[in-house]
Amino acid sequence: YHNTYRLTLQYALWDFLRELGESDVGGLGRLSDESGSAVVPLRRIVNVAKLYAWLLSRQALSLLILKTVTFARVGDQARVFFQVMFTTLFTLHRKRSAQDEQTLFNVFHRAAANPTMCHGILFFFHHFVRNCELVAEDDRSVVKWGCRVAKQALPDAERARKLLHKRCVGRKITAVRAASDTIVFSGASAAEVEAQLLGRQVTDSGRRGKQFWLSLSDDLSLLLHFGMTGEMHIQGEQQNHYRKISVDVGDAWPPQYTKLELDLGSTRVAFTDPRRLGRIRVYEGDAAASPVVSKLGFDPVIDPPDPETFARLVTCRRMPIKALLLKQDFSAGVGNWIADEVLFQSRIHPAQMANSLNQAQTRVLLDQLKLVCRTAVDVNAESTLFPKDWLFHYRWTKGRGRAPQLPDGRQIEFVTVGGRTSAVVPAVQVLDSPEPVEASGEDEEAEPARRSKRRKK
């Protein structure tokens, strides 16, 4: 197809998606006050979806036409459209030979240039396509096959961790370069770190909460705490930014702000940390038994407790529930904005005493804790893919000349709980039996995209 026709088909799709209620697609629907009000006949949705599936299967169009779609929060009509489009795309490439699989792989691989969109597609596959009820029984194996091929072609949320494991385990560290930074290296000198790591072989990798480690030969472990701005980079591999604060490597090596660089034969790995909030430690023994890991509480994604155990863990503590959620020996990896999001979705005030919560509240709290953390992981912490109803999107307007509020006008206030600034919506988060709560004059956790260095007084 000539590029003119491709553009026409792309804009036609965006118009149709806006008609389905996706007002933010293409950036033009925001101007309309009627978005989402029309009910489009199902037959039309199905026919248009099949048309675009056919165009994608013939590679007349690229999946990049979906770059403006926020898959984590599509409405009901658009969800049906994409379910039909992707399942039809898979059945059109029904596996008969290796060539069928390679052709489908190429369709998705062409979209890998846009990691944010890829994370959204994989999120949509996991929640709405893999076990889609619209698919006939005979075609379900084909759909699962298609999801598997797409996952191989797209950079998914676990790609960075798996890639590091794949590229490092079994290799010997032949060279080490450590920066002179006693903050990041927890008091150790660069020479000490280099001497401990040089010549060791990487035998395994692991993670719990915000702690990540490489197990080394001679019973050593390299412990890394990423903090807010730490990242791992592998030379020659496209970096999938986990956060908005990230280091753009480009062609430069080692990257800017490198604290530790490891050579493992043909693999070179660098740990960067522009704000020095992460920590690097060399531990003698199993990392899981180290003080910084063994004292951690449950991981909401890896090993969440059952509702009864969670209720006991919560109600036996006489402290504000926000402060409890932030204690790493209670729930590993939960940070300030995640705790606020969980409490907002649970309709619980951050200052509510943990031991005052009833069984229904603790059950909702656990469900939301798992959901918020799992959703963040599924979309690789790409904030644009977070659900529209999350408090996250609206808490960052504080200090910009207007009072922060939700789209429906409900006000967002900031209070200090347990020494941390907390965002709270009083209209839905009511404090029962209130204890003194200090009003906060500043939001400690500034918006990730707009953090700035604070001067030391």
Q: What's the rounded mean pLDDT across residues 119-139?
A: 83
Q: What's the rounded mean pLDDT across residues 110-137?
A: 78
pLDDT of 182: 86
pLDDT of 393: 86
pLDDT of 354: 95
Q: What's the rounded mean pLDDT across residues 263-277?
A: 87
pLDDT of 240: 45
pLDDT of 276: 81
Average of per-residue pLDDT values in the chain: 81
**pLDDT > 70: percent of the chain:** 79
Indicate the pTM of the whole model: 0.52
Q: What's the rounded mean pLDDT across residues 279-302?
A: 83
Q: How confident is the model at residue 273 (pLDDT cuts 50, 70, 90)?
A: confident
Candidate from 290-299, 345-354, 437-446 with smallest mean pLDDT? 437-446
CA distance 275 to 87: 44
CB 299 within 8 A of CB 332: yes
On the question of pLDDT at 317 being above 70, the answer is yes
Distance of CA 310 to the CA centre of its chain: 24
On the question of pLDDT at 457 being above 90, the answer is no
pLDDT of 229: 65
In this structure, what is the dihedral angle of CA atoms 212, 217, 219, 220, given to the nearest 10 degrees?
Answer: -40
pLDDT of 314: 95
17 versus 110: the higher-pLDDT residue is 17
pLDDT of 430: 93
On the question of pLDDT at 447 being above 80, the answer is no
Q: How confident is the model at residue 455 (pLDDT cuts 50, 70, 90)?
A: very low
CA distance 269 to 262: 5
Closest CA to 88 of 126, 47, 117: 47
66-106 pLDDT, tens digit each: 988 888 778 899 999 999 999 999 999 886 665 677 788 87
pLDDT of 245: 40
3-state secondary structure of 298: strand
Cross-sheet strand order for the sheet of 202-208:
202-208, 211-216, 220-225, 279-284
Top-ranked range on mean pLDDT: pick from 160-164, 205-209, 309-313: 309-313
pLDDT of 160: 52
Q: What is the DSSP letter of 353?
A: B
3-state secondary structure of 213: strand
Q: How confident is the model at residue 162 (pLDDT cuts 50, 70, 90)?
A: low
On the question of pLDDT at 130 being above 90, the answer is no
15-62 pLDDT, tens digit each: 999 999 888 776 544 444 444 457 899 999 999 999 999 999 988 898
Q: How confident is the model at residue 450 (pLDDT cuts 50, 70, 90)?
A: very low
202-231 pLDDT, tens digit each: 999 877 766 778 899 999 999 888 665 677
- 3-class DSSP string for 77-102: HHHHHHHHHHHHHHHHCCCCCHHHHH
On the question of pLDDT at 434 being above 60, the answer is no
Top-ranked range on mean pLDDT: pick from 20-24, 65-69, 153-157, 175-179: 175-179
On the question of pLDDT at 191 being above 70, the answer is yes
339-379 pLDDT, tens digit each: 999 999 999 999 999 999 999 999 999 999 999 988 887 76
381-419 pLDDT, tens digit each: 667 778 888 998 888 765 556 678 898 889 999 999 988
Closest CA to 287 of 199, 223, 208, 195: 223
What are 414's strand-pairing partners? Answer: 423
Residue 319, CB half-sphere, CA atoms under 13 Å: how many? 13
Q: How confident is the model at residue 291 (pLDDT cuts 50, 70, 90)?
A: confident
